[in-house]
Every structure is written in structure tokens, then in C-alpha cells.
Structure 1
Amino acid sequence: MTFKKNLLLSAFVLCCSLALAQDKKPVQLSDLTKIVTVDNPEITPDGKVIFVKSFIEAGKDGEFDYKSQVIRLSLSDPSQSQVLNSPSYDLSDFALSPDGKSLAFTKAWEGKPQIWILPLTGGEAQVLTSEKNGATSPVWSPDGSKILFSFSTPLWAMEGNPTWENPRPGRSYGDEPNYAAIKEGLAKEETKPNMDGNVDELRAWLAKNASKDNPRVIDRLNFLGERGLSTDISFRHLGMVEVATKKSSVLTSGYQSFGSGTWSPDGSYILVSSVKSEDHPDLSWESDSDIYKINVLDKSVSVFLTQKNYRFSDATFSPDGKLILISGQNTEDRSFNQSLIGVVKPDGSGLKWFTEKLDRRVGGAKWADDSKSVFFAGPNQGGVTLYKSEVGSGKTTEVISGPVGVNSFDVHGNQLVYSLTKVANPSELYISDLAGKGEKMVTQYNSVWLAERWVSEPEAHHFEQDGFGVDYWVMEPYGRKDGIEYPTLLEMHGGPTAMWGPGESSMWHEFQVLAGKGYGIVYANPRGSGGYGKDFQRGNYRDWGDGPAKDVLTALDKAAAEYEWIDEDQLVLTGGSYAGYLTAWIVGHDHRFKAALTQRGVYDLTFFMGEGNAWRLVPNYFGYPWEEGVKEILEYNSPQTYVQNIQTPLMIFHGDVDLRTGVRQSELLYKSLKIMGKPVEYVRYPDEGHELSRSGNIVRRMDRIGRIVEFFERYVTHPE
């Protein structure tokens, strides 16, 4: 009798819980403006944590603005928190002083970025530097008396001429007046410009026009930025400023960039990473990077760590000063080799890698206080895992793993502090011990409004195909009832080396909105995705279409076979960037979808090599079009080749100034379909680059998801 009562009570509680869940509203399109993200935590010496809180704030006339605050919060009492910056400046590029009493940060001053100091004990921020080329990326010396900073110098402002050959055919460096330098008072005009004069005077006249970008003269290979032309070459250099006197000095110079500086424990020298190439800087991506040593006293620069076929960066001394943490990559197959974390001795000897067998792209490595272990994070099978490597044995273990994402973290004493993504909450700050145990949520920024929202939980699945193990997830629609079928969306990721999963934050809002609109969602990590090792990531080499399409469609087929609520006559499809490519490829080969939406994609691969700033994907995956057999491979793998086979109603998104994939790609696809009378609609977003969905204008970000919903609603039927 008691057992029956308990059973009835359990059933009643379950029914009430389900009813309560369905009483909640699904995530709304407008909820994008409610999402808060936390990042960049740093534990202070007094047991507090400083981190960046990013959010969206409503402005006038229905517009919204991105905002960020730096928060100081007590770990022992999270209710005790303090906002460190006013709305007038951004503190996100901050560095905590060794004694924990001051923050150095970057803020514009008289038209240039400069280093400022904010006392945490009270008082206003004061500008520290006044560098003619600006100053960014502050790094405190161990005793807090100096700050290392970075600055950028354009090629035209450099003294002397570089040693590499002038890429302008038939020209040499210094054979015409440098009007950019003349304008800044760095050079004198010795040849008067005269369009009707001799060749030197004509060149002077042409150079003066070019100095005003009228016209833009392009002599470099990588002349495309993200949203406009990038015709000027500049070099990153390092300087140092004394905090007490504000006296600064330049540490590096020349036709070489330096970055990722770290001080030695005694402050006598600095280790930095740099790529030195005898060729034009456009070719530096083919070169290996080394660690250099800069002596603070005499400013001498020497190579500290170099090895053929390796790139080194991010040197960091252990707390006891006995070892140096190093990040790196084997560059023999630079397109697919995974990243490495290791250590060397202070004299540069004894290099030891921890992560060769891990076979993941990891980063952000930090020392534990006892110098016996290091922590780092990276994409791993649908989540972002926090790892720990023992320095002595090299043993690597997972500290925080599973369907969650560790976005950033810090370690101090016996505490980990980290920003975490979960399906139930896209971003909050957590603490735990060094083993990841005793996890506790520290912030509640999203918890309050999410308490009134229904959230679709993805269910994980796996299958083997063609020697690859493919993970996929299924999310059910809002209000799902047994015995009823629902339209279902196949979502695909870009990259092609991106990775999706419950621990990946960028798609959280879009997935939840679409599930809330009554769509089931299936998404997968096909061959070529990151987070599964080199062999899997290389699985789409010279095969961007057939293999990955087979994987995502198999995931959809298997989901439909297992979940009776998936309506196989009500399927829709979308993806962006590489997944925009894959969307167009699929609808050129498969006609099961009621509608499809391709976003900021690539559709003709040969054309892409000439148009997009991500053009290196073409030679990395296929080779150059003029090499034997490559033209045919590119043509076979281009969705444009099959445009005449597209029957599915198609919507195309692209940003007006998207130079990563190139806006002409979308024009080619649209015009082709329009000429053939196919059902197609084209949406161009003004002033937007490739990052529209992640960091674009906020209203346009919501418009984008709204148009996805509206377009699919034209073609699918929802149950009554």
C-alpha cells in the first residue's frame, strides 16, 4: 500500500513538473538583449576575482549598444561586488598589478590608445603613457615598477628600407617621395610633384595622390581585411614605461613584429615571440615563430628558443622560476597539426611537450601556484574541456569536461575560477577546487530571466561512417506532444574546423529561439570538424562536399529513425560560412528539404581564392588552381557547378562588407538562380562583415534570426 502511494505521488510530481515546464515561455528573439557573458577572470592576492561582464544595453530610438564592465567580486561572499569602470571607458584589456592594488588598461587619449592606471584602493584612473604610436597590451614587471606595452609602426614610418625585394615590379624602395612620412614630419620633400615633369617628378605626383588613398595602390598579397582593404603593412613592437616617472623607452625595432611578452622573475629580461622572415611580411604565415630574449638594461635582442618546423609563443615562467611554459605547433602540416603545450628550462634547453598524444587544439595555459602542474583548455567532442598536465610525469587529465564549455579561467591556491557555458545557462562564473570538484556558481546574471524560460536540452548520439566517428545532437521543439510530428531543422557549422555541441556558446540563442518556434533541431560535427583530433580534422581534405554532406545527412536520417516526432516531409536546412557552402552543396544534390537558407557562404572555390581574405583555405585543402589536376577538383567541389540542379526554395544572406568569404560569391549564386527562374531571395546586410551573427549590429542580429524563422514558416506546416 505504501509503495502504491509513493508511486502515485511520484507520478503526480512528474506531471506537475512537466506542466510547469510547459507553462514557461520559450526563449524569445528579443532575449538576445538579456544575455550576459562573463570572461577573463583573474584571482587577486586578497581572494577576490576580477572579470569582464559583457551585456547589451538599450539606447535611444530602439537601438542597442554593446557594453562591458570590469567587476571585482568576493569569492567568499559573491553578493559583495564592485564595478570598476564607468560607462566612459572599457577596461576589458586590463592587467592586474603584482600587489593587486592597481589595474593597467588601454584607453584612447588624444586620438591614440594609451596605457592608464586605475588604483583599486580608490581614486580616478590616470593616463600613464603618451606614445606617438600609441600603447596597448600592458604587462607588469614582477616588482610592479614597470609596464611592458605594445605599439604598431607602419612600414612607411620605418627608418631605412627593408632588405626584401620591392613587390612592385620594376620599382625599388625609396625611389619616390614618402608622402605619408612627409605629412607626419618624418621626411622632407626633395622632389617636387609634377605630372608633366620627368619620371621622378611624375612618380612624386603619383605618390602624393596615393598618400591620400586616391587611388589605393596595392602591392601586397593579403590586401583584404575583414571589412575593407588593408593595403598598409605595419609591425608590432614593444616598449617599456616606468610607473613612477612615466619615462618610456623602445625595446624593439626593425622589420619584424614582436608579441606575447613575459618578464623574467627578477625583471632583468623579457621573453617574446616573433616571426622573422627574410621575405616579404605577406609570406610570414609560412614561417616559423621563435622566442626571443630582450635584456632590459641594454635592450639587446637575441634568439632564446628556435627549432625547425615549430612555432613557439606565450612563454610564461613558473611561480618558482625553474621552468618556462611554452605554447607551440608542429608546422610540417600547419593546416591540420594540433597545438602543443610544454615546458623548457630557463636556459632554453630541455623542451618537453605534454599534449602530443592529446591531439587537440588547446591554449590559454596557466601555471598552478605550486609549479607542479599547468592548466589549459580546448574544444573536445562538443564541449570545451579544461585539462591539467603534471609537469613531472607529463600525465594529462580532464578536470572539467562533458557537455559544457570552459571559456576562460584562472587558478590560484586551491581554487579554479572559470566562465562556463551550459545548455541551461550560456554564461556564468563558477569556482571549484583544482580537481573540478565542489563546483559553485558565483554569478547569477542569466539565471534570473532564464527561470521563466523553457530550454531545449540536446540529446547526444554517435555513429561510425567511412572510418570516422560522428557526433550529433537532437533538440526537441517547444510543446512537443507524443504522437505528433514536427518540422525539423538541420543546422550546420562553419570553419570548416569549427565544432558545435552543448558546450559551444555561439549558437545557444539561435538554437533555443528556433526550438521555441516549434522546430526540432539536428546538428552534427561532420568529418573536418575541430575537437576530434588531426585525422578527423583532415577528413575533408579535397572533399568539402561529398563526405561532410554524407555525415550531416546521415545524422538527420538516424535522428528521424529514432525520434517519431520528426516529420520527414517538413525538413529545412541552414548554415553559415563553410556551412553556407555546405547548404548550397546539399540542395544541389538532395531535394528532401522544403526550404534552405545559406549564409555568408562560398560557392565557387577558384573565385574564392581571388576574393576572400580566407583564401588560404583553397591551397591548404585543395592546392593551387594552376597545379595539375587541381582545377578539376575545385570545380567538382564548388556548389556553383551544380546550381542548375537546385530545386529547393533558397534564401541567401551576406554582409555588404564581408571580405572573409567575399560578397561576390553570394551575388553569383543569386544571379544564377534568378536567371533560371528558381525560387530565391537575397538579403544583404549593410555595414556588416563576416561576424554579423556574433558581433554585428544588435538589431541586425535579431533581424537575421527573425528572417530565418519567417522564411521557413512560408514552407512548413506546424501541428495544430
Structure 2
Amino acid sequence: MHRIQRVFTLFLFAVAAAAHAQEKTPIVASDLMKIATASQLSASPDGKSVVASVTRKATKTNTTNGNTEYYYTQHLYLLDPTGKKDPVQLTFGDRRDGQPAWSPDSKSLAFVRADGDAAQIWILPLTGGEAYSITKVKYGASRPIWSPDGKSILFSSAMPFSAVDGEVPWTYERPGRKQRDEPAWKLMKDDEKKNTRSTPDGSLTEVRAWLAKNASEKNPRVLTRLDLQDEQDLEAEEKYTHLFVVPAQAGAEAKQITTGYQIFNNADWSIDGKTIICNSWKLTTAPDYTRNSSLWTLDADGKNLKELLKVDGHPISNPEYAPDGKSISFIIGTTEGFMGRQNDIGVVPATGGEYLNLTQGFDRDIQSLSWSDDGKTIYFNAESDGDVPLYSLPAKAGATPVQVIGDDKGVMNFTVKAGKIVYAQTETGSPWEVYTLNLKDKTTTQITKLNTAWIGGKKLIFPKEYWITRPDGVKVQYWVLEPVGRKDGQKYPTILNIHGGPTAMWGPSAFSMWHEFQLEAAWGYGVVFCNPRGSGGYGDAFKRGNFKNWGAGPAGDILAALEDAGQQHPWIDKDQLFVEGGSYAGYMVAWLIGHDNRFKAANAQRGVYDLTTFMGEGNAWRLVPDYFGGYPWQPETKKLLDAESPLTYVDKINTPFLIIHGDQDLRTGVVQSEMLYKSLKIQGKPVEYIRYPKEGHELTRSGNPGRMMDHLLRVIEFFERYAHHPEPPAASSTTN
């Protein structure tokens, strides 16, 4: 009897041990390094394969100082749309390979390799052999597209103003100077440089030559353009994207087929290979003053360049020939002005004429589109109510889009071929995987397992969706995540997390916040997030709901969602509320704590706090005239900008405040955060300031992985100074 009891006890112990071994653990910060994404999906012409560019985060040890270095890799993978074969990695190494394009015979891939100062185009034979480079373009090459006969490749290259040939079609912008009145040192050959006298002690001509030589070395940078800020550095010269054609063989020489002061983007071959379509800007003023593009065609050798379709005030982009070559689809911005631009699908005959707006009655923004093989249907994705569904649309007037993939899923990228849609999907249960939808039998097959293994061992929290109606009738959607391990009857600190944009949209399919939301829940916080007026995904009127009203209107929506969440979920501790957000949401955090004292602590990242200063400092400065209807030197606009600037209310901020910015952020500009920090510090307010080296505005999405983790944990550590948990957070006691 005792023996039986002992055996039974051992059995129970073994079962308990097995259950413990299989117990899922919460998300931790270093899980960020495990997330892989597949994008730039491209189906082979024969429909048998799909190639994807897979991005991963990687580490290595610096042999000099022993420190861990964080970086990204991007490699090409061959996928089987049926899911019967495992993905095959095609490229390797510490490099970035992307923009894959299939040859017409499905036997080779062209792709762009970022390996050095200027990216170049390579070809990888899939029948055997090593990849080889086919371009050596000074300013880099991108977006390769094979000609229909497979003999050549069309590509783009962006060159600076100084490298463009021809007479400038507008008045030179250096006051008192003439166009081309100084040596172009960057373009001169060695003999020309030797024969050009430049000295600080010579004639005016020689002095100008000496000054021009210094400027050619960016010492100093001579700035004459309006959009002088790039993302992480000043950009002294405008860039002009031109088209080139190169034979699809090693050692061949590329031929430039467009010239002059015109910008050519998103080129595509006609079905017979005789014509090229693209969207272009015909410049009569400097490109910084031009915001509209139109549809252009040219012969394959660059001749007979002509404008096919122009719609005044409405930019056209991403043209693509229909499978029969008789018509061209494109994306067109159809609403007036540039604030909250609405994107629709247009179709025009390949020979020109009136265009047809296929989505005129569809009040959502189209992101990308693809034709079916028979040309009868167009597939597209668009943000809608917190999701990014995929839709089908008959390619004819009056048709209604039908949702094909949705329900809390985000279709981030897709390709259509041979009766199948291969698509990259984000959802709460997985940050990113690739699937195939068979259009005939409607079956879905997962064809990658980029994140499946490590996600399987993690506790994930799924959001609960709610809607509220504001006093003015505006309906606002929001979501709530519970803290990991929540127990009934206990109160938990909760983070109000706000999105930027301001036209961004969050929801269950928001990849950019997937890890951050799950990490905060693992640290014992509830998370509330919403899409206030001004967000994308709810139609044109909703998107324009924050015109001349960046502060009070959206803030009211956000706080109302938080208050409703507290009523829906008694576990939310109303005395332990925290708030964070970046970019426009950094603005909103500062606005909220300047008008409301309910939060225990706050974090604002890469925000805008003084709209007048932002007008001059950031490369996103056009948000000022677009959203506030004027400029700071206009008295009524200046009054409005001051009233809408969080810095105006800085003396009312008493909440402990963590301010974060990247050293090289030129989208919003570091002066914004410096002004806010100094203003609070002078007043003796509880404030801390973090600056990240070598980072721009995209730190939390595509920045250095090590600094991304540091960023996440600094916010949590700051909140932990003021938070009280009913029990230790799950993530704080987890070893990974």
C-alpha cells in the first residue's frame, strides 16, 4: 500500500514538474531581439514561389572593448506559397538585402544590397551560382524592375542638385548670384581642378572658387533650400530621382534615360516593354515648393517623355499597368489640401484620357494595391477601425470593396499571383508571420514561423475593445490590456499610451507597439490606448477633427476613453495612472499634464512643445500651416499657435516628467525638448531628460536595438519610482 502511494506521489510530482516546465513566461525586454519581420513580398511570374526580405536584430561582441554591439540584418528568403516546403534563406552576412524583383522566366532575382556608401543592384541566379553586382552608380541604385524580355533592368538613382545637367528652370536662390557661376568641384575631373585657380587672396572669381571648394566638402554647408533638414542631418542640396536602364549581366554599363530638373518615381514597364510609366514632378520652381506629382510616360530609351494625366491639387503616385496593359492603376490624393490627405484608387486608359476613381465612396485611405492575374479585380489594404484589412474590388465603376482579411488583423504587405494572396500579417497573438490565402477554396496556410517558437512560450495579453460617444457625437474607439497575472479584487497601476501622427492609428494589428504594450503588461501595468479625433482609419471627417485643435479636442477624447476604461475595469487604480507617448503624442502628454494633475508620472518622447519654434526647426514643419491654417508671422495664427502649444502651460506642470529625444532627430528637433526641460528645471519641477546618440525620430521603431531596449526600460524604471503593485510584476522576476 505504501509502495503504491509512493509511486502515485512520484507520478503527481512528475506531472506538476512537467506542467511547471511548460508554464508560459511573460514578455521581457530582450524578447525585442527575437522579433523577425518579412516584407517586400514578391511572387514569381510562374506563381510557384515568393521571395521576402526578412529583417532580424543581431548582436556581436566588439573585440576592442568587449561591449555588445546591436544591429540589423536583412536577408532574402524563398517561400513556398503552398506551405509544403520550408523557407530557404538565399542571402547571408552582416548586410541589408532588399527590394527583390523576379526575372520574367522566374529563374533569377534582382535585389538591392546596402553594402557600403551607395546601395547597388545585384542579381542572384536561382539555378545555381553566386550573386553578382550589375551597377556601380555613384549615388546608389534602388527599385530594380526587369524588362518583359528579361534582358535589362530599370532602376532609380537619386542625385544631388550639383550633379544634374541642364539649365535650372527657376531663379537661383542665392541672392545676388547667378546660376552655375562657380566651379562644381564634385563633378570636375582632376585636370579641371588643377587648372581652376582658387585662393582666399585672389580676385573675386578666385575667392568664390575657393569658397565653392570648401562648400563641396561640406565645410561649411551652404543652405539655400527650404527643406534643409533631412531625418538625421542637414540636407544642403535638393535630390532628383532619375531613371536608368542596365543590361542584366555583370560588367555592363548603366544608361541614364531621364535628365534635367524633374523627379521620376515608381517606374513600371509596359507589357510589351516599349513604354515606361512613372509618377513625376515637372519642376518650374525648386522641388521644396512642389507637392503635387502627375502621371508620365516615356519610351524605353528615354525619348518621347510626356505627361499622361495631371489632376491639379491632387498628387498621383504608384502607377501600375493592368495585366492586359490597356489601363493603369494609381493612388491619388483626392481631398482638398494636404491636411489628412485621403488616398483613393484611380484607373486611366494607358493611352490617356479621363480617369476613374474606383474608391470614391470608400471613406478610408488606400495604402497599396495589386491586380489579379485576369485584371478583373484589384486588391488593396487600408487602415480601418484599428485594423489594417485587405479588400477586393472589381476594377469597374460603382463597385464596392469587400473585406477579404481582417478581424483584428493587420495586412502589412502582400502580393497576388496564380489565385493566391501571400501576405505578411500582424495580430496580437504574433508580431509578424507570412500566410497564403487560396482564393478558390478560401483556405489559409501559414508559410513562415519567424516568431512561432519563442511566442509559443510567452504569456500574451489580448486587448478588449470598446467605443464611446463624445458630447459632440464623435465616436472614439479604445482598447484595454490587463496586467499579466491580474487577480480579482486587486487594484493595478495603468498606463495611458498615446499614438503620434497625429493621423496614426492604433489597434490590435499595430505592429509598432506590439512589444511595448506586452512588456508593460508583463511589468504589472494595465494599458489603455485609443484613437482620438485626428486619427486615421475612421474616414476623412474624423481625420480632420483636430484642425486648429491639436490640444483640447483630442485630449478630451483620450481622457474620456481612460475614464470609461476605469468604469469597465474596476481593477484600474485611478490613483495610479501613468501617461506616455511620442512625436505628436509627446506633444499630447505635455498638454495633458499641463491641464490635468491625475497622473502619477509622465513620459514624452521626441515631441513638439512650442509650435512657433517647430515651424523653423523640424522637417515636419508643414504640419503648422496644414493644421493651423497659417504661419507664425501672421498675428491670428501666432495667437492660435501659442494657445495650442504645451510650453505655454509649462508653469502648470507638476507631474514627475521624463523627457526623451534623439540627438539627431530633425523631424521634430531637439530644441523642442531642451526648451521644455529647461523651463521645468528652472522652476524646480520634477523632471529628467534623456538624449540618445546617433538616433533620429524613428528610435522606437527602427533605431538601434540596444537603444530601443534601453528606451523601453528607462520609461518603465521611471514609472516604477511612483507605482505601487499589489504583488511583484511578473517580468521583474523572470529570467529569460
The residue that corresponds to 1:122 in the other structure is 128
**Cα distance, 1:558–1:217 mapped onto 2, change above 3 Å:** same
For 1:331 and 1:258, locate their aligned partners in 2 and report how far apart those are by CA, in whole Å: 23
- Give the corresponding residue for 1:497: 503
Does residue 1:417 correspond to 2:422, yes or no? yes
Match for residue 342 of structure 2?
338
> What SS does the corresponding residue of 1:92 show, helix, strand or coil?
strand
Task: Tell me how far 1:67 sits from its aligned partner.
Answer: 1.4
Query: 1:82, CA displacement in angstroms?
Result: 1.4
The AA in structure 1 aligned to 2:467 is H
Q: In the alignment, which residue of structure 1 is the partner of 2:205?
A: 200
Deviation string, structure 1 residues 5-47 (Cα, Å, up to 9, x no partner): xxxxxxxxxxx9xx98994211111100111112222222252
Match of 1:50 in 2: 51
Match status 1:631 vs 2:638: yes
Find the aligned partners of 1:80 and 1:657 in 2 and give their Cα distance. Answer: 41
Supply the distance in 2 between the matched residues of 1:359 and 1:43 (Cα, whole angstroms). Answer: 30
Cross-structure match for 1:324: 328
> Which residue is 1:407 aligned to?
412
Could you report, residue by residue, the CA deviation over 1:359-390 in whole angstroms, capped at 9, with x for unpaired residues? 22212211001110001112111111111110
Partner residue in 1 for 2:9: none
Change beyond 3 A, Cα 1:475–1:590:
same
- Contact between 2:96 and 2:114, CA under 8 Å: does it hold in 1? no
| Superposition TM-score, scaled by structure 1 size | 0.94
Aligned ranges 1:389-404 → 2 under 5 Å: 389-393=393-397, 394-404=399-409
For residues 92-241 of structure 1, the aligned pairs below 5 Å read 92-107=98-113, 112-182=118-188, 184=189, 192-241=197-246
Deviates more, 1:557-566 or 1:152-161: 152-161
State how far apart, in whole Å, the 2-side matches of 1:533 and 1:77 are: 37
Residue pair 2:335, 2:342 contacting (<8 A) in 1 also: no
The CA distance in 2 between the partners of 1:230 and 1:665, in whole Å, is 20
Structure 1 contact 385–401 (Cα < 8 Å) conserved: yes
Deviations 1:163-210 (A, max 9, x none): 21111111121222222333x559667763333333323322222222
Asked if 1 retains the 8 angstrom alpha-carbon contact of 2:331 and 2:366, the reply is no
Q: Tell me how far apart the structure 1 counterparts of residues 327 and 635 of structure 2 sit (CA, whole Å).
A: 49
Q: C-alpha distance in 2, partners of 1:252/1:186?
A: 28
How many residues end up aligned between the 2 structures? 700
Using a 3 Å threshold, how does the CA distance of structure 1 residues 203 and 379 change in structure 2: closer, same or farther? same
Matched, 1:305 2:312: no
2:550 maps to 1:508: no
Rate the CA distance shift 1:21–1:379 in 2: closer, same or farther, 3 A.
Answer: farther
Q: Name the residue aligned to 1:251.
A: 257
Distance 1:87 1:690 in 2: 27
Query: Residue 576 of structure 1: which of 577, 582, 585 is its match?
Result: 582
For residues 276 and 317 of structure 2, the distance between their equivalents in structure 1, rounded to whole angstroms, comes to 13
Q: CA deviation at 1:121?
A: 0.8
- For residues 411 and 191 of structure 2, the distance between their equivalents in structure 1, rounded to whole angstroms, comes to 48
Which residue of structure 2 aligns with residue 719 of structure 1? Answer: 726
The DSSP-based 3-state class of the residue aligned with 2:511 is: coil
Mapped contact 1:34–1:56 kept (Cα < 8 A): yes
Structure ranking higher on relative contact order (CA contacts 8 Å, 6+ apart): 2
Partner of 1:10 in structure 2? none
Contact preservation (8 Å) 1:75, 1:442 = yes
Query: Partner amino acid for 1:48?
Result: S
Structure 2 letter corresponding to 1:138: P
8 A Cα contact 1:597 1:652, kept in partner? yes
Root-mean-square deviation over aligned CA pairs: 2.1
Name the counterpart of 1:693: 700
Secondary structure at the aligned position of 2:211 is classed as helix
Is the contact made by 1:94 and 1:103 (CA closer than 8 Å) also made in structure 2? yes
Look up the match of 2:691.
684
Q: Is residue 597 from structure 1 mapped to residue 603 from structure 2 by the alignment?
A: yes
CA distance in 2, matches of 1:52, 1:710: 35
2:386 corresponds to: 382
Moved more, 397-406 or 475-484: 397-406
1:38 alignment partner in structure 2: 38
Question: In 2, distance between residues paired with 1:275 and 1:186?
Answer: 36
Q: Provide the rounded CA distance (Å) in 2 between the counterparts of 1:159 and 1:59.
A: 45
Partner of 1:586: 592
113 and 564 in structure 1: CA distance in 2 versus 1, 3 angstrom threshold: closer
Q: Structure 1 unaligned segments of length 5 or more: list them.
A: 1-15
Distance in 2 between residues matched to 1:476 and 1:207, nearest whole Å: 61
Distance 1:132 1:560, change over 3 A: closer
Tell me, what secondary structure is at the counterpart of 1:536? helix
Do the aligned partners of residues 162 and 190 (structure 1) sit closer, same or farther apart at CA in structure 2, a change above 3 Å counting? farther
Residue pair 2:495, 2:577 contacting (<8 A) in 1 also: yes
Question: By how many angstroms is 1:476 displaced?
Answer: 0.3
Is the 2:337–2:626 Cα contact (8 Å) retained in structure 1? no
Amino acid at match of 2:696: G
Distance 1:580 1:257 in 2: 34
Q: Aligned to 2:368, which of 364, 370, 381?
A: 364
The residue type paired with residue 39 of structure 1 is S
Tell me how far apart the structure 2 counterparts of residues 329 and 189 of structure 1 sit (CA, whole Å): 51
Taking only the aligned residue pairs, the percentage that are identical comes to: 46
**What is the CA-CA distance between 1:130 and the residue it aligns to?**
3.4
Q: Secondary structure at the match of 1:201?
A: helix
CA distance in 2, matches of 1:368, 1:580: 42
Q: Deviations over 1:323-344 (max 9, x none)?
A: 2212111263222231011211
- Take 2:59 and 2:277, find their aligned partners in 1: how far apart are those partners? 44
What TM-score results when the alignment is normalised by the length of structure 2?
0.92
Give the equivalent residue in structure 1 for 2:274: 268
Distance (whole Å) between structure 2 residues aligned to residue 296 and residue 210 of structure 1: 37
CA separation of 1:591 and 1:656: change in aligned 2, threshold 3 A: same
Residue 315 (1) aligns with residue 322 (2) = no
CA distance in 1: counterparts of 2:387 and 2:52, whole angstroms: 22
Distance 1:435 1:615, change over 3 A: farther
Counterpart CA distance in 2 for 1:415 and 1:66 is 31
- Higher alpha-carbon deviation: 232-241 or 669-678: 232-241
| Inter-partner Cα distance in structure 1 for 2:449 and 2:456 | 11
**Can you list the C-alpha shifts for 1:529-556, whole angstroms capped at 9, x where unaligned?**
0111111111111111101111110000
Quote the Cα distance in structure 2 between the aligned partners of 1:652 and 1:154: 36
Moved more, 296-305 or 658-667: 296-305
- Tell me, in whole angstroms, the C-alpha distance in 2 between the residues paired with 1:460 and 1:110: 46
SS of the residue aligned with 1:253?
coil
1:11 is matched with which residue? none
Residue 594 of structure 1 aligns to a residue in which SS?
strand
Cα distance 1:296–1:29, how it changes in 2: closer, same or farther (>3 A)? same
Shift of 1:160: 4.0
User: Per the alignment, in what secondary structure is the counterpart of residue 119 of structure 2?
Assistant: strand
Summarize the Cα distance change of 1:435–1:578 in structure 2 as closer, same or farther, 3 Å threshold. Answer: farther
Whichever residue aligns with residue 56 of structure 1, its letter is K
Farther-moved stretch of structure 1 (276-285 vs 488-497) = 276-285
Q: Encode CA deviations 1:502-559: one digit per residue, 9 max, x unaligned.
A: 0110000000000001000000000000111111111111111101111110000000
Q: Using a 3 Å threshold, how does the CA distance of structure 1 residues 578 and 209 change in structure 2: closer, same or farther? A: same
SS in 1 for 2:435: strand
Query: Which of 508, 511, 521 matches 2:527?
Result: 521
Task: Find the counterpart in structure 1 of residue 3 from structure 2.
Answer: none
8 Å contact from structure 1 (residues 575, 598) kept in 2: yes
Rounded Cα–Cα distance in structure 1 between residues aligned with 2:479 and 2:718: 24
**Residues in 1 aligned to 2:548 and 2:392: alpha-carbon distance in whole angstroms:** 35
Partner of 2:172, secondary structure, is coil
Structure 2 CA distance, aligned partners of 1:291 and 1:304?
Answer: 5
